[in-house]
Amino acid sequence: MAATVISSMSDPGPQRPTQFGVLRLLPDVTVNRIAAGEVIERPAAAARELVENALDAGARRISVTINGGGIERIEVVDDGRGMTADELTLAILRHATSKLADDDLLRISTLGFRGEALPSIGSAARLEITSRPRSADSAACICVEGGEVQPVAPCAGAPGTRVVVRDLFFATPARRKFLKSPRAEADATETAVRRLAFAAPDVAFRLESDGRLLFDLPAQDRRGRVAALLGPDAAAALLPLDAQRDQMRLSGYICAPTVTRATAASQTLIVNGRPVSDPVLRTAVRVAYRDVITFGRHPVVALFLDLPPDEVDVNVHPAKAEVRFRHPDLVRGIVISAVTRTLSAGAGLAAPPPVIRPAMASSLPPQTPRQQWYTPQPLPAERGFADMQLALAGGPVARDLAPTQPVAEAESFPLGAPVAQVLDTYIIAVTGDGNLVLVDQHAAHERLTHEALRQQLLSEGVRAQPLLLPAVVELPSADVARLLDRADDLARLGLQLEAFGGGAILVRGLPAELGTPDPAPLLRDLADELAEMDETTSLDARLDAMIARLACHGSIRAGRRLGREEMAALLRQMEATPRAATCSHGRPTFLKLSKAEIERLFGRR
């Protein structure tokens, strides 16, 4: 036995490979290629670094052109101060920069400062830089291919700098293999350039992708730039924000709670002129909007935070997209208080009235002030609910069919019989065994609509309802491109879309189950949903996500008064529908409290 133990303990197990060579310094080309993987992880990062260099050089106009999502080619042209031939020679060396005059990393006031972008790009791609200072008679050009530097040569060129990047990651094929599709890389590049355009409204920006103009913005004031980039619906609901606390100033624009998005992609946060993705700021925005927008929706904001450079550390991430605040609680506090105060001041902006389908109008109660508690009048005992259906296709909200069961027997259903509606949003029901059921009417109807659309898709395709008058929806050109790229998939879902110029879509038909909702919010949400997907998302998952978004727009809204028959019909359909315990976004549609649980809450047990 002891021998066995000794043998077991002496077994070294699997050995780690120990292949070591002679200790040596890596050559500069290899070092630069390693660094390129950290600094330039995708075309969007290369484009962002080049645009940041242009802004730091004092450019007043910047033009960006990409081909093949930026994998094939990126061109950035600016009218900044330019570089001499000697400066070009230094510019492609690692850690050569003109932006840290005193080597102080605690007071960084420029977008770039490390001197890593150009050598990293040159080591991973074919890089060509043409530059001319305004005082020079001619330009100079330098080329770098996979880290191999060519001598600087004189050439023709306008004042400013032109940078061309071709065949990104040709020298590091392992990294190129992990890039996404050209469409996804183009979207990421557009997002990066768009955020920089937010940050510098006094600079004209132009972006073109595969011959398609995405935007061409003149130098303008901040409101004009924010309105141009957020779109017409957000521009009409902009609320100015300005708050000062000690040496910290928060300014910009937020949208009224009537304008929301399916994702947080429309939240732009700028710190000292630098676009950032900061959890402190995003959390503060979410908290400020928490009580005024629907759960699961995201506000639209463009916020600019200015504070002393030594109060924020931008040197915490290779991409400089994250920052660290010296006093995060103060930052969080000024954002929450300023946004909350602005939303309160803008409370007079009323939400647009709900769109009511003509076929539903006769069944809705007259308009009355919102009530916190509504108890429907009891129906005669002989009226039943078992065969009632909540209409999903534009018919009456509830159909009163021939009575089949008394109300008392309806309480034997799993979700019971409705007894009240609370906050015009939640249905209270009681089951025959004394359980209390609380139903979220919007979440529940969303699931029912989702499953109805899904069932149609699996059979013959979602039924489309042609619009009597086709609707024109204005959207950012990138959203238009995303929707038109998926036009065939959307047609299977009952959405009939056509191109209508560079910044608009013509809607000819909508899914019949949705009735006649406003197509603009629906298309914006679908575009956001598509932007979150990539080529690795399966077609089935992609369609199911789009069905979920359609269902959300075609469901009973929170805050709508329901009659008792409508509530009962909703409960009956929930009992007959797969996956009805959760909505399309995974939230519960109902809660059930047993008699024992209720007694425990009141201390009876």
Among the residue ranges 95-104, 280-289, 342-351, 398-407, the one predicted with the least confidence is 398-407
Calculate mean pLDDT across residues 424-445.
87
Residue 162 in tokens: 């032109």
User: Where in the chain is CATH 3.30.230.10?
Assistant: 222-345
Q: pLDDT tens, 181-203?
A: 898 899 999 999 999 999 999 99
Q: How many CA atoms lie within 13 A of 140 on its CB side?
A: 17
What's phi and psi for 426, nearest 5 deg? -115, 135
Residue 256 in tokens: 């009224």
What's phi and psi for 62, nearest 5 deg? -130, 130
Calculate mean pLDDT across residues 563-585.
83
Is the pLDDT at 480 greater than 80, yes or no? yes
Q: What dotted CATH number matches 28-100+107-217?
A: 3.30.565.10
Percent of the chain surpassing pLDDT 70 = 73
Q: Could you tell me which residue, 50 or 518, shows the higher pLDDT?
A: 50
- Length of the chain, in residues: 605
| 136 CB-contact burial (10 Å; exposed 0-12 / middle 13-18 / buried 19+) | middle
Among the residue ranges 180-189, 254-263, 344-353, the one predicted with the least confidence is 344-353
Q: pLDDT tens, 33-82?
A: 555 555 688 999 999 999 999 999 999 999 999 999 999 999 999 999 99
Calculate mean pLDDT across residues 249-263.
90
Is the pLDDT at 487 greater than 60, yes or no? yes
pLDDT at residue 1, rounded to an integer: 45
Looking up tokens 């955020």, which residue turns up? 195
Is the pLDDT at 375 greater than 50, yes or no? no
pTM of the entire predicted model: 0.64
Residue 171 in tokens: 């020298």
Residue 456 in tokens: 């149609």
- Cα 34 to its chain centre, rounded Å, is 31
Most confident of 72-86, 107-121, 428-442, 448-462: 72-86
- Cα 129 to its chain centre, rounded Å, is 34
Give the chain's radius of gyration (CA, Å): 30
CATH architecture of 222-345: 2-Layer Sandwich (3.30)
pLDDT at residue 35, rounded to an integer: 57
Calculate mean pLDDT across residues 531-555.
64
pLDDT at residue 368, rounded to an integer: 34
Q: Could you tell me which residue, 470 or 107, shows the higher pLDDT?
A: 470
Q: pLDDT tens, 261-285?
A: 888 889 999 999 999 988 899 999 9
- Average pLDDT of the chain? 78
pLDDT at residue 356, rounded to an integer: 27
pLDDT at residue 300, rounded to an integer: 94
Q: Which residues pair with 165 in a beta bridge?
A: 74, 127
Q: Could you tell me which residue, 276 or 432, shows the higher pLDDT?
A: 276
Calculate mean pLDDT across residues 217-240.
92
User: Where in the chain is CATH 3.30.1370.100?
Assistant: 358-605
pLDDT at residue 285, rounded to an integer: 94
> Closest Cα to residue 94, out of 123, 130, 74?
123
Q: Could you tell me which residue, 12 or 25, shows the higher pLDDT?
A: 25
Do residues 343 and 291 lie in contact, with contact meaning Cβ atoms separated by under 8 Å? no
pLDDT at residue 403, rounded to an integer: 39
Is the pLDDT at 524 greater than 90, yes or no? no
Domain 358-605 CATH superfamily = MutL, C-terminal domain, regulatory subdomain (3.30.1370.100)
Q: How many CA atoms lie within 13 A of 242 on its CB side?
A: 3
Looking up tokens 């890039």, which residue turns up? 179
Confidence of residue 449 (pLDDT cuts 50, 70, 90): confident
Calculate mean pLDDT across residues 127-141.
94
Q: pLDDT tens, 96-110?
A: 555 445 544 455 556
Which residues contact residue 234 at a Cβ distance below 8 angstroms, ignoring those fewer than 6 apart? 227, 255, 259, 266, 300
Residue 205 in tokens: 């920006």
Confidence of residue 600 (pLDDT cuts 50, 70, 90): confident
Q: Could you tell me which residue, 159 or 38, shows the higher pLDDT?
A: 159
User: Where in the chain is CATH 3.30.565.10?
Assistant: 28-100+107-217
Among the residue ranges 3-7, 458-462, 569-573, the one predicted with the least confidence is 3-7
Confidence of residue 400 (pLDDT cuts 50, 70, 90): very low
